[in-house]
Amino acid sequence: MKNVRQEGVPSVTPRYEEYLDGILTSHVMAECDGAPGRHPMQLDQRPRMMSYPRHLIVLGAGGLAHEVLAYASTSPIEHIVLVDETAPDGTRAASGGQSFEVVNDWRVFESRTDLAPFRQFIVAVGSPALKRKLVAAALAHGLTPAPTLIHEHANIYGADTTIGVGGVIAPGCRLTTNIRIGAYPVLGINTLIGHDSTLGDYVTCNPGCHVSGNVTIGSGVLIGTGAIVREKILLADDVTIGAQACVVADIDKVGSVVVGVPARPL
Ligand SMILES: CC(C)(COP(=O)(O)OP(=O)(O)OC[C@H]1O[C@@H](n2cnc3c(N)ncnc32)[C@H](O)[C@@H]1OP(=O)(O)O)[C@@H](O)C(=O)NCCC(=O)NCCS
């Protein structure tokens, strides 16, 4: 795989394979039991949610964070605080009729006793560069990534798929088999990831994008909404694919922006 690793990625990128094993084993069993009228994903939720922290820090307080607050409402997470370094003091984020505190100073996680239970975070911003910045700051302040929040209406089919920590997988996502997702993923609503594909750390797939089979995606890649990546393609680190583009050839140049059908450099 070329141009995939990137300097500056924090060294703490553990995988929660055991956590995922629990999810996926249960999911396969549920599909096999053939119980009439019983959707496999209902059974899938029990192990998925069991290991989730009750207190969660959400990095970001914009539109995606509001969506994440809604996704979290169906999980066992009981308390959420958001971080936005640019938010004025006293900012709150509203979602689903609830209001959540937004903090703008990392030091509160050390100084405020009421925030002591908040140790684990996920990212809720789309920009891979901003994700890197926020994650680096969070790790520097002693926080650790939570398991990626996987919505109950996302489907992960292969028991051999692994997903890195600290991200979010939205409803409607479908991941087939033998897929490797790096740390801090953001997979927007209805993202499809095909077999044997690899996504590096900090990848963002905006809603409705389709990644075919055997695709290799570098770190920090952003795939725009509705874009398609053809099979066996390689995308270098920090590539941006424009909304509705169709990528039919490797994008080798780190940091390039491509748009259109077929996708060409902007
Ligand atoms: C490709 C992209 C990153 C370019 O952003 P940008 O650098 O700010 O570019 P601009 O908006 O200034 O547009 C520059 C040119 O590219 C064109 N362009 C921008 N996005 C395009 C796209 N997706 N497809 C085709 N052309 C595009 C513009 O029309 C403009 O053309 P012009 O110079 O002839 O007028 C951005 O447009 C994009 O598609 N991002 C993904 C957005 C997304 O997924 N949103 C969903 C959020 S949930």
Q: From atom 46 of ligand 1, which residue's Cα is the shortest distance away?
A: 225
Q: Which of 189, 259, 261 best tests ligand 1's pocket when mutated (most atoms within 8 Å of CB)?
A: 259
Q: Is residue 168 part of a domain?
A: no
What's the first-to-final CA gap in the chain, in angstroms? Answer: 24
**pLDDT number for residue 51:** 64
Other Cβ atoms closer than 10 A to 10: 16
User: Ligand 1: distance of its center to the CA of 84 in Å?
Assistant: 26
Q: Which tokens hold the place of 160?
A: 């051999």
Nearest to 60 by CA among 78, 41, 91, 82: 82
**pLDDT number for residue 53:** 84
**pLDDT number for residue 193:** 98
Q: Is residue 62 part of a domain?
A: yes
What tens digit of pLDDT does each residue of 168-210 get?
A: 999 999 999 999 999 999 999 999 999 999 999 999 999 999 9
**pLDDT number for residue 96:** 87
Ligand 1-lining residues (CB < 6 angstroms) = 188, 206-207, 224-225, 240, 242-244, 257, 259-260, 266
User: Ligand 1: distance of its center to the CA of 242 in Å?
Assistant: 6
In ligand 1, the atom with minimum distance to the C-alpha of 227 is 44
Q: Is residue 112 part of a domain?
A: yes
Residue with tokens 């969070």: 138
Residue with tokens 């938010």: 87
User: Ligand 1: distance of its center to the CA of 204 in Å?
Assistant: 16
Q: Is residue 249 within 8 Å of 233, Cβ to Cβ?
A: yes
Q: Which tokens hold the place of 75?
A: 């999980």
Residue with tokens 């993202």: 191
Q: From atom 39 of ligand 1, which residue's Cα is the shortest distance away?
A: 242
Q: What is the pLDDT along the chain (266 residues), one digit of tens a residue?
A: 222 222 333 333 333 344 444 443 333 322 323 233 323 333 343 345 556 789 999 999 999 999 999 999 888 899 999 999 999 999 999 998 999 999 999 999 999 999 999 999 999 999 999 999 999 999 999 999 999 999 989 999 988 899 999 999 999 999 999 999 999 999 999 999 999 999 999 999 999 999 999 999 999 999 999 999 999 999 999 999 999 999 999 999 999 999 999 999 99
Q: Is residue 100 part of a domain?
A: yes
Q: At what angle do helices 40-50 and 17-33 cross, to 10 degrees?
A: 160
**pLDDT number for residue 22:** 40
What tens digit of pLDDT does each residue of 206-228 get?
A: 999 999 999 999 999 999 999 99
**What is the domain-level CATH number for residue 136?**
3.40.50.20
In ligand 1, the atom with minimum distance to the C-alpha of 266 is 16
**pLDDT number for residue 5:** 28
Q: What is the pTM of this model?
A: 0.86
Q: Is residue 67 part of a domain?
A: yes
Other Cβ atoms closer than 10 A to 242: 19
**pLDDT number for residue 42:** 34
Q: Is residue 152 part of a domain?
A: no
Q: How many domains does the chain have?
A: 1
15 DSSP 8-state letter: B
Q: Is residue 6 part of a domain?
A: no
Can you tell me whether residue 186 is helix, strand or coil?
strand
Query: Which residue range is the domain that position 77 belongs to?
Result: 52-145
In ligand 1, the atom with minimum distance to the C-alpha of 241 is 1
Q: Is residue 132 part of a domain?
A: yes
Q: From atom 47 of ligand 1, which residue's Cα is the shortest distance away?
A: 206
